[in-house]
Amino acid sequence: MIDFFNVKTVEEARTALLSALVNAGSGSFSGALPKMSVDLLSASGRVLSIDVVSPEDVPPYPRSTVDGYAVAARDTHGSTESLPAMLSIVEDIPMGAMPSRRLSSGQASRIPTGGMLPEGADACVMVEHTDLMDGTTVLVQKPAAAGENVVQQGEDVRCGQTVLRAGRVLTPFDLGALAALGFTSVPVVERPTVAVISTGDEIVAPGERVLPGQVRDINTYSLASALESTGARPLVLGIAKDTYISLRDLVEKGLSCADAVVVSGGSSVGARDVAVKVFEDLGPPGVVVHGVAVKPGKPVILGVCRGKPVFGLPGHPVSALVALDLFVRYAMNALTAATAGGQDVLLQLSAAQETWVTARLGRNLSSAPGREDHVRVRLVSKDGTLIAEPVLGKSGLISTMVRSDGEVVVPQESEGLIEGSVVRVRLPRF
């Protein structure tokens, strides 16, 4: 068993967990996820599992960027308002169809924005710089350079160009790009399934009668919905008693049908010992990290059982959510990234899921050096300045949960932050 007081930093703990997962998989990630194909309309937020290479030039032909006339640039050279170039109109190019006429010298065709340039044309003139002499002749009052007001074939994307890399979290912009390239479905990484277990002899489900001394299960609900927002699929397994056999049964069930197992609680030392014992017995390696230099979240347990990551989170609901955000999200991103094609996309994934705002601290915050403090804050706007007010209090169970908007992280080397200093507030992505 690992010394509880031999705590690791957040970074060390993450690295230790990933190393253990790689070792369990004999050099590559153990438990990498399946790949699947989803309809384009359901793909937002999913993780791309292949590099997307354009199968064609975009645009596939030269297009006009204006409403006006397609011309040969040389036919307009030297033209002015007083001495316009006189061109005969040979066609009205419709939207959505090919031009039917090739331009010869001295000719022009009417073209709408997005219209396809006819052969013989290399520029477009805006309708505002022309005058219609009669139905068949247009006066061009300004010279056009070759390529002016035209998007060339392949100028946006060349055939064979990589447009999106594996591991990308798909946005509506990306889906638009995929539609433009003719994709109707898209290969993605399957979402990881995470089993959720609450523990504690005193815990009862919210719908049940609460006897004196008992409390309702909070963590199943807060952790499951936080997991959902990280892109994982929560699998609720219920409440284990603080006994070895009760917890082991549920953890084994989780390992058999999910990609990871999250256990939260109980609040007593005895309950924590039970979780450690269960994880150890389901190893090797079992427990990998026991205790991290972070507050709240210090008593967190990270492990690998039967090749899958397991997490023992604190029983306190806010602490459990902080620990989930720091470690479970990280590990699920790593698994997803490994499935998509390697470690290099891991950073993009993590960065995409951390959002910070800048604010001024509303009061002094002290912190023990050697420990990373996550302090829940409420954001308040005062005279146009965003103030981060720490939400504190020993009793802050529900009240801390519902009154805060994000957290200020006091770095490990800091002894605290003073009132009025500029701080970055991390917003929960969930």
The greatest distance separating any two alpha carbons of the chain, rounded to the nearest whole angstrom, comes to: 96
At its nearest, how many Å lie between a copy of itself and the CB of residue 412? Answer: 18
Nearer Cβ to a copy of itself (30/220):
220
CB 63 within 8 A of CB 155: no
Phi and psi at residue 260, to the nearest 5°: -160, 160
Whole-number Cα distances in Å, 313 to 131, 220, 276, 294, 372: 74, 12, 11, 13, 17
Q: How does DSSP assign 62-88, residue by residue? A: -EESSSEEEE-GGGGTT--SSS-EEEE
At its nearest, how many Å lie between a copy of itself and the CB of residue 334? Answer: 20
Structure tokens at 250: 């549920």
Nearer Cβ to a copy of itself (78/211):
211
Nearer Cβ to a copy of itself (60/420):
60
Radius of gyration of the chain (CA): 31
At its nearest, how many Å lie between a copy of itself and the CB of residue 193? Answer: 15
Structure tokens at 13: 């703990």
Alpha-carbon span 423 to 363, nearest angstrom: 12
Structure tokens at 370: 């050697």
Nearer Cβ to a copy of itself (23/153):
153
At its nearest, how many Å lie between a copy of itself and the CB of residue 397? Answer: 5
Q: Residue 326: which residues within 8 A CB-CB, separation 6 or more? A: 10, 292, 294, 297
What is the per-residue burial (b if ≥16 Cβ within 10 Å, else e) of 372-383? bbbbbbbbeeee
Bridge partners of 374? 409
Nearer Cβ to a copy of itself (38/86):
38
Nearer Cβ to a copy of itself (84/154):
154
At its nearest, how many Å lie between a copy of itself and the CB of residue 318? Answer: 8
Task: State CA 81 to chain mean position distance.
Answer: 54
At its nearest, how many Å lie between a copy of itself and the CB of residue 230? Answer: 10
Nearer Cβ to a copy of itself (32/218):
218
Nearer Cβ to a copy of itself (25/112):
112
At its nearest, how many Å lie between a copy of itself and the CB of residue 266? Answer: 7
At its nearest, how many Å lie between a copy of itself and the CB of residue 55? Answer: 11
Q: Residue 306: which residues within 8 A CB-CB, separation 6 or more? A: 255, 282
